[in-house]
Amino acid sequence: MCQINALGYLGIFLSFLISCASCSDNSTSPPPSQTPIPTMENIWPAIDGNSWTFEVAESVFDEGWPLFDTMEDLPDLPSLEELYEELQQPCSGSVFDSGSAILSIAFHNPVENGSLTVFDVDFDLAGIDDTYAYPPFPLLLGITWVQGDEEIYCMDEMGLDWQYAQETLQPGHEFTVAIGTNVDSEITLTTRIWSIGDFTVGDRQYDNCLECFYLMNVGLVHGTDENGNPTGIARIFSYGVIIYAPGTGPVLAHEKWLGGPDVVVEKTAVLTTNTKK
């Protein structure tokens, strides 16, 4: 059994322990269980009035990629495999800011649109103990949530906000979509179905969970000094995992966000309450 300290990921606010029986081996066969295998319908049960509450923790570290002088000097993005391994390592920099919050999500007013069901999203984020935190990007839902037989996504006023699943939930399946634009390029989201296995989050065990790994490539940031003179370029990107329990929905999300030179923001959201109608 593979054990990952979920807030060895963050290491500050939560002491949740995840035990991954699959050890992220990308097996195509889930272990024997009474729990059904993941499907588009059950990894995030979309029923009018269903709601999910998460405890969110965020820390900002003074580390990250340095600025580079030219595009030729700028390294490529790491592979998904490299980023997955990096995600499970503690940040090495010093924490200069942190926060926590309670996130509540609920679906209402379903409308059938062909093979798709469209929901309005109620989204509420409240800080804890005079601090505030943003959840990992997959849980920053837009105003509309859409579920179909072959895809799950959410939208905001500008269009596609996040694509959770597409075509199949078989481990190893990977897709890339555009979810916005930056000054220099499109913002792209790459998601890979990483594994199916049993996870324990806190004191709860969830069987046949779907582990999805993602990389959001925002593009480039151009650094300047106090006089506005260019100091170099760096990449902006975010990567993380979201774990779905069939019949429950997302139970854990963990992310690292390289939002600028020498800054890493690490975020974790853990499911505390799931209300089903």
Query: How far apart, in whole angstroms, are the C-alpha atoms of residue 217 and residue 9?
Result: 21
Q: How confident is the model at residue 33 (pLDDT cuts 50, 70, 90)?
A: low
Q: With beta carbons less than 8 A apart as the criterion, state whether 15 and 7 touch.
A: yes
Q: Can you give the residue ranges of every domain in the chain?
A: 46-193+208-275
Q: How confident is the model at residue 35 (pLDDT cuts 50, 70, 90)?
A: confident
pLDDT digits (tens, 9 = 90+) for 217-243: 998 877 777 788 877 888 889 999 999
Cα Rg of the chain (Å, integer): 19
- pLDDT (mean) for 118-143: 91
Q: With beta carbons less than 8 A apart as the criterion, state whether 136 and 253 touch.
A: yes
Q: With beta carbons less than 8 A apart as the criterion, state whether 248 and 54 touch.
A: no
- pLDDT (mean) for 26-50: 77
pLDDT digits (tens, 9 = 90+) for 113-124: 888 999 999 999
**Which residue would you say has higher pLDDT here, 54 or 276?**
54
- pLDDT (mean) for 238-257: 96
Q: With beta carbons less than 8 A apart as the criterion, state whether 49 and 109 touch.
A: no
- pLDDT (mean) for 100-125: 94
Percent of the chain at pLDDT > 70 equals 86
